[in-house]
Amino acid sequence: MSFKDFFPQRVRNSALLFGVIPVGTPAGRWLSKLITLPQLRKITGGDIPWAPLRKPLSESTVALVSTGGVHLRSDRPFNLNGDPTFRVIPKNALSGAMAISHQAYDRTDALKDINLVFPIERLRELEVERVIGRLANDHYGFGLMGSAKALIPAMKQVARRISESGVDLVLLVPA
């Protein structure tokens, strides 16, 4: 039995863990958690931090951070072999002006609708409907990086930029 016979088409298009296990399978999701959660606990000192919202959502400034490899088409793509950098995406960026540089998840649907991994248009709608106070001017995209520790300098830089811009709430969208 071949790989193609065993896994359906959508799973065959998934990235592989250890070159064998498709990410889109239950075993792949379990293995991803097994690898990722200890790294996250290690860099956060054990408990994952939580900060309560200090004002109503309808008065809050919201920023978006995605690890889906989203960037502007005019930006340098993320290095697919590991990239500890980030890209700034302005709030008025159109979906057609965005691209995805990431190979660790099935991007088929995200390439059709960027909002699946970078829901900027949904946030604009929430701003118009006054569900959120306002959308921050800058949003951030990260690419693929095997080591959470290698991301710390970029994460600190993004956290500083977000803090300095008066953002109250960050929507984190993992890939």
Per-residue pLDDT, averaged over 76-101, amounts to 93
30 vs 95, residue with greater confidence: 95
61 in helix, strand or coil? strand
pLDDT band at 22 (very low <50, low <70, confident <90, very high): low
Residue 147 lies in domain: 57-173
User: Cα separation of 26 and 158, whole Å?
Assistant: 32
Per-residue pLDDT, averaged over 100-126, amounts to 89
Same domain for 23 and 100: no
In a domain, 138, yes or no: yes
In a domain, 159, yes or no: yes
CA distances from 105 to 13, 32, 97, 109, 161 (A): 8, 11, 21, 11, 28
pLDDT score of 88: 98
User: Cα separation of 100 and 83, whole Å?
Assistant: 13
DSSP conformational letter for 76: P
Per-residue pLDDT, averaged over 85-93, amounts to 96
Q: What rounded mean pLDDT belongs to the chain?
A: 81
Q: Which of 61, 56, 55, 64 is nearest to 135 (CA)?
A: 61
pLDDT score of 174: 83
Q: Which tokens hold the place of 57?
A: 């959502």
In a domain, 51, yes or no: no
pLDDT at 11 over 80: no
Same domain for 90 and 36: no
Neighbouring C-alpha atoms within 13 Å toward the C-beta of 144: 12
In a domain, 21, yes or no: yes
User: Structural domain tally of the chain?
Assistant: 2
